[in-house]
Structure 1
Amino acid sequence: MEMNRSDHPRSLTLGISSCLLGEEVRFDGNHKRDAWIVGTLGRWFEFHPVCPEMAIGLGVPRPPIRLQGDPASPQVVGVRDETLDVTEELEAYSRETAAGLEGLSGYILKAKSPSCGMERVKVYRPGGGQPRMGQGVFARALMEAHPDLPVEEEGRLGDPDLRDNFLERIFAHHRWQTLQAEGLTPARLQDFHRRHKLTLMAHGQEHYRRLGQRVAAATGRDIETAGAEYFHDFMGALRHKATRRRHVNVLQHIMGYLKRELEPGDKAELLEVFEQFRQELVPLSVPLTLLKHHFRHHPSDYMADQVYLDPYPAELMLR
């Protein structure tokens, strides 16, 4: 079964913390080059590097800074000298830069950074005591300005499930960008939803049903407004974990499209592989590869159009 490879262009752009590409912009003059990001993602993505601390003129090397005070609205001060206060400069730069970022398909942030940390960044109490947790100033502005943009920290991408989910969201986001560039219509919205049916089912049946209702209600409404509401819920649905149990339900659903073609032995083999996947003995790529093998012999136009079977380039395949 040949999948639609136009879904996987090599022109996607990811925003990224500059230090992760090997740029020596850390406070101590070092970098945090990530080999997987540079070596693997670099084959498929253009990178748009940003270092907020360099951008506001702190330079290299520079005194280290940290978050202090209220986690919802922290100050950004020097670690050794609290009279160094760059709160206003960093907030202003972050708001302006985040608002101007257009055309990105995702963003990778440096974990624990007072400017770029996505979550669990230490926010110190002025009088001492146990730090609380918050977000980096730039990371907060980025996610507020682009709530549907796939965003992750490089540390979390070491988890195969989180990495798979991030890649899935990046390419889904790009498909929506392409749809918008072509011109959103009710028919194209329906087609987008249909092609992602199995993907949404893997993240929860309720998401597919709710989004189906949004598609049905789009007729007669302003399509741009209806589309924005749909896409916000769509990206929210993809952030929900696709569990092995849900994947098995989807795999069994796919197998139903082969029930008249498969011999009893083939059916038994598929069910055995599904069970091996459920028990975490094999990765998702094993049952998917076997299913696609059968669809090559028994083609299905509907199944060939389903994103679930080929969510991102095979070279990035983690499933």
Structure 2
Amino acid sequence: MHVMELVRFGGADAAFAARELPRPTPGPGQVLVRVMATSVNPLDLQTRRGDYRDQVALPAVIGNDVSGVVVGTGPGADDFQPGDEVWYLAPVFAGQGTYAEFHVVDQTLVARKPASLPHIEAAGLALVGVTVWEALVERAGVRAGERVLVHGGAGGVGSVAVQVARALGAEVVTTARARDHEFVTGLGADTAIDFSTGDYVPQVRALGGVDVVLDTVGGDTLTRSPEVLADRGRVVSIVDIPEPQNLLAAWGVNATYHFVFVSPGRAKLEALGRLVDRGELRPVIGTVLPLADIAQAHALLEGGSAGEGRRRPSGKIAVAVHPLGEPPHGTASSPQKG
């Protein structure tokens, strides 16, 4: 099978090389999936740069999002059969990643893809969607009628968080540049604040504060969150924060802090799928590139394509692995049964 392999840590231009590797064989309880699409996330950029070099041995196939078609099953993998369209978040730093034509995964992590969601959109939703569900539902316990502040509402995670918070019945406040205000309010945000032109804290306070803060941007968000939190408010951060921050003010509002490193799971995907089916959630895809252009996809996510100086496009950067107009079965991916 064809893969794009990470061969050196550092900049995107020299990081990846095309390789041919043996197609994996599903073991007990596993399914073999023909990867139709994947996507690029900040986690991928960090991995490529070498932030997690202690957990990634080169050369390596990285990537975590999958939308595809089951083409084989291992012994005891009875939840799926060849031909099923599925989506999932692959385990982080465990085995081969998803920048490949085929991928093997434990069936317990896999869910059936919502029929209304094309492969490209499903691949752009898996990791960010599971992250948001864990942050807002499992950790923060957002309830209807609460007010939620989503930092970075125009970003990959933020754009999904705005929709999920709204679907949960919350009032949604988000920070975004003025050029993105129409975009985030279109997703369901009640209030958009331009963080680039002034301090967001007084503006959030004028609304009466918030019950939950979702941090997708880092910086001093943890330190400043108590300034906008109601009593017993909750803060959830998905950002690596290497510098210590002073959380003394959190005692004054009985704040609870949660730190989320995403973990895969079928139940989260199924819950997200129900929101998709109800029309309450849709990923925003800004760019679609072929697998061969994975370095360009990384460069775009980091802020611009090499030599063009373009602003990073709004929405997720998705990667088409197999030609999406091609039938999901055929000589190259004939069904296997363990």
Q: TM-score, normalised by structure 1?
A: 0.27
The structure richer in helix per residue is 1
Mark the structure with the bigger radius of gyration. 1
Q: TM-score, normalised by structure 2?
A: 0.26
